[in-house]
Amino acid sequence: MSNNCKDCGKEIIITDEGEITNGKQLKYLDGGKEILIFKCEECFNKSQELNNYKKTEVYSRCCGYYRPIQNFNKGIRRQYEERVEFREVDPTETPDEIEIIK
Ligand SMILES: [Zn+2]
């Protein structure tokens, strides 16, 4: 395990006594398995969340089935990118309040 901040890469200094002087060691759960991540003081104060850890697999419906979009062929990928999301319209709203989400 590297002694660098997960977010900015800054070196985390650990004394011989095992004390971290400029950051925190954080414990997260990854599918029930504990993982330890270092964050420098600055990044820890900005966000305690674990970001950019794993690529997220996104599923979307295609031809009636939910499939990972990473496996879509070129044509279906293009069709997926051109999809537009709509919010269901509240009948009491006036038409200029309707917004397109994507
Ligand atoms: Zn950092």
Distance 25 CA to ligand 1 centre (A): 12
Distance 41 CA to ligand 1 centre (A): 7
pLDDT tens track for 33-75: 999 999 999 999 999 999 888 888 999 998 899 999 999 999 9
Full-model pTM: 0.55
Most confident by average pLDDT, 57-66, 81-90, 91-100:
57-66
Element (H, E) at 74: helix 74-81
Distance 10 CA to ligand 1 centre (A): 6
Distance between CA atoms of 56 and 54, rounded to whole angstroms?
6
Extract the tokens encoding 10: 């800054």
Distance 58 CA to ligand 1 centre (A): 28
Distance 51 CA to ligand 1 centre (A): 12
* pLDDT given for residue 98 in this prediction: 62
Distance between CA atoms of 74 and 69, rounded to whole angstroms?
11
Distance 77 CA to ligand 1 centre (A): 36
* pLDDT given for residue 31 in this prediction: 85
Extract the tokens encoding 4: 């660098």
